[in-house]
């Protein structure tokens, strides 16, 4: 079994000074941490690289040259038989499934960010689309969020959206 933590749009230190402690506990429990871009500053990348077992990350539209030099625009990995891709932006929600099917035909799971809106759908071709929202900037959402999942027997399972308590 492989435990995944999915986060995106952390915007540190602009939207928050640090990740919530609940998310750090998930980092410690995860086998793989996936970050779908918009880090803003490299400090979180540095900390995750030293603290987590494995990190899969990409840069987002708010990430500067320092982060773009260290991270790809699109990351592709195979985790225990599951073909996972990560990208920051997929475009607007209208037509997202079709666009992603066309762009990621050899992918089982696509993790994306940008909107800060949690998303979990399956395309007509069977591609699972996941957006964990943001653990630090809820925008117009009722809560800050992140996702966890597991890979067992070559399949993604137990995908869960977690809501964070309001910051004080």
pTM of the model: 0.97
| Exposed/middle/buried for residue 57 (C-beta within 10 Å: 0-12, 13-18, 19+) | buried
Instruction: For CA atoms 26, 77, 88, 158, give the dihedral sign.
Output: negative
- Delimit the domains of the chain by residue range: 2-163
Task: Give CA angle at 9 (8, 10), nearest 5°.
Answer: 95
Q: Give residue-wise pLDDT tens across range 42-92.
A: 999 999 999 999 999 999 999 999 999 999 999 999 999 999 999 999 999
What are the angstrom distances between the C-alpha of 16 and each of 30, 44, 65, 77, 168?
22, 12, 21, 29, 11
CATH 3.30.70.2740 is right for the domain spanning 2-163? no
The residue assigned the tokens 């990350």 is 57
């Amino acid at each position: 079994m492989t435990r995944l933590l999915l986060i995106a749009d952390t915007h540190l230190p602009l939207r928050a000074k640090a990740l919530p402690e609940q998310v750090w506990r998930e980092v410690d429990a995860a086998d793989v941490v996936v970050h779908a871009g918009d880090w803003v500053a490299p400090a979180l990348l540095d900390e995750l690289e030293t603290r987590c077992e494995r990190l899969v990350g990409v840069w987002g539209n708010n990430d500067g040259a320092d982060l773009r030099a260290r991270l790809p625009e699109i990351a592709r990995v195979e985790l225990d038989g599951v073909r996972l891709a990560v990208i920051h932006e997929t475009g607007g929600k209208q037509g997202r499934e079709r666009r992603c099917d066309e762009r990621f035909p050899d992918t089982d799971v696509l993790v994306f960010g940008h909107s800060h809106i949690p998303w979990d759908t399956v395309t007509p071709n069977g591609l699972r689309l996941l957006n964990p929202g943001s653990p630090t900037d809820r925008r117009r959402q009722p809560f800050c969020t992140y996702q966890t999942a597991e890979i067992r027997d070559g399949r993604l399972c137990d995908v869960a959206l977690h809501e964070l308590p309001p910051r004080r």
